[in-house]
Amino acid sequence: MEKNVLLQVDHVWVERPGAEVLRGVNLAVGRGEVHALLGLNGSGKTSLALTLMGAEGYRPYQGRILFDGRDITDLGVTERARLGLTLAWQEPARFEGLPVADYLALGMREPERGRIEAALEAVALAPLAYMGRAVDATLSGGERKRIELAAVYAMQPRLTILDEPDSGIDVLCLADIMTLVRRMADEGMAVLMITHRDEMVGVADAASLMCAGAIISTGTPAEVREYFAQRCRPHEGQLGSQPWGSEAGGTYRRVVSEGVCDE
Ligand SMILES: Nc1ncnc2c1ncn2[C@@H]1O[C@H](COP(=O)(O)OP(=O)(O)O)[C@@H](O)[C@H]1O
Ligand SMILES: [Mg+2]
């Protein structure tokens, strides 16, 4: 049975100066589905995220992108955002000096205090302690990351692309990210969760594996993790040093997630 598709990417090719970053990407994300996109560093994951958002310079020269059945290949960032596509960046944008509550309200169609509080609670930040705080350098990296995710949650997009939500020096605890991602899906929001850490895939309903600018496998999280272990590692040599280092040898090992909580 065909799943109820929200996002469909058909054979998308994207070229950047000096590099063909996407080479015929096919991908389908269902409504309210958590879809993990796994791939080594340099495999093209961020390029795909930027292409899906309609970022400048990432217009496909071949292929098309459908969102809720509508062809959005030629739409710009603002129009896509209006349709309900959101990208949380690897480096959260900072709105210096703005109170946290106002920052969250920015992306909400109808800002309301209850929703802002719920969003902060969803990322384990006490609303009373954070609503009035300024978004500035006094926040730790982990706090900023949480606030960024709370803003996405408050926005209630139809599809959220999280590009390596676990990256950064002070990062959010993996368990917290997964809880929020699951909650978004339970409330009907689809999430495309980009990661190079296979343990992140566990929270997903489906997963796809990206290698050298193309999706080479789609299936259950378990199937894709297995495929990642068997078929992607040979590309390591071409792509350079990977997060788990060469000491892992030929045998597949989980990427260790120690030290990911900043408190
Ligand atoms: N703006 C760009 N211009 C040229 N090459 C790029 C650009 N952005 C990314 N690349 C190259 O495209 C490939 C995919 O990069 P990226 O999408 O960032 O991968 P990932 O997010 O999976 O680590 C890499 O080889 C990278 O060096
Ligand atoms: Mg990336």
| CATH number of the domain bearing residue 51 | 3.40.50.300
Query: Does any domain span residue 253?
Result: no
Give, to the nearest 10 degrees, the angle between helix 141-155 and helix 113-122: 130
Structure tokens at 256: 């260790």
What three-state secondary structure class fits 176? helix
What three-state secondary structure class fits 156? coil
Number of domains present in the structure of the chain: 1
Q: What pLDDT is recorded for position 238?
A: 56
Query: Does any domain span residue 68?
Result: yes
Q: Is 124 exposed, middle or buried (0-12, 13-18, 19+ CB in 10 A)?
A: middle
Whether ligand 1 lies within 6 angstroms of the CB of 240 is answered as no
Distance 60 CA to ligand 1 centre (A): 15
Query: Does any domain span residue 77?
Result: yes
The pLDDT of residue 122 is above 70: yes
Mean local confidence (pLDDT), 189-209: 90
Q: What is the C-alpha to C-alpha distance for residues 241 and 246, in angstroms, rounded to an integer?
A: 7
Q: Find the distance separating the first CA and the last CA of the chain, reported in whole Å.
A: 45
Q: Among 144, 164, 179, 170, which residue's Cα sits nearest to residue 262?
A: 170
What three-state secondary structure class fits 2? coil
Could you count the other beta carbons within 10 Å of the beta carbon of residue 87?
A: 24
Which atom number of ligand 1 is nearest to the Cα of residue 47?
17
Under a CB-based contact definition with an 8 Å cutoff, are residues 178 and 203 in contact? yes
The pLDDT of residue 175 is above 80: no
Domain boundaries, position 193: 5-248
Query: Does any domain span residue 259?
Result: no
Confidence of residue 195 (pLDDT cuts 50, 70, 90): confident
The pLDDT of residue 229 is above 90: no
Query: Does any domain span residue 70?
Result: yes
83: CB partners within 8 A, 6+ apart: 67, 68, 70, 72, 75, 158
Average pLDDT, the chain: 83
What three-state secondary structure class fits 18? coil
Mean local confidence (pLDDT), 237-249: 43
Query: Does any domain span residue 256?
Result: no
The pLDDT of residue 252 is above 70: no
Which atom number of ligand 1 is nearest to the Cα of residue 57?
1
Under a CB-based contact definition with an 8 Å cutoff, are residues 112 and 104 in contact? no
Structure tokens at 49: 């995220």
**Hey, which of 43, 47, 56, 194 would you mutate to test ligand 1's pocket, going by the most ligand atoms within 8 Å of its Cβ?**
47
The pLDDT of residue 116 is above 70: yes
- Please name the helix (run of DSSP H) or strand (run of DSSP E) that holds residue 101, with its range, or none: helix 100-106
Q: For the chain, give the percent of residues with pLDDT over 70.
A: 81
Whether ligand 1 lies within 6 angstroms of the CB of 209 is answered as no
Provide the sign of the torsion angle of the four alpha carbons 91, 96, 102, 108, taken in this order.
Answer: negative
Query: Does any domain span residue 16?
Result: yes
Query: Does any domain span residue 131?
Result: yes
**Beta strands 214-219 and 206-211: pairing type?**
antiparallel
What is the 3-class SS of 210-254, one letter each residue? EECCEEEEEECHHHHHHHHHHHHHHHHHHHCCCCCCHHHCCCCCC
Mean local confidence (pLDDT), 212-218: 92
Which atom number of ligand 1 is nearest to the Cα of residue 18?
4
Q: Among 75, 84, 110, 108, which residue's Cα sits nearest to residue 7?
A: 84
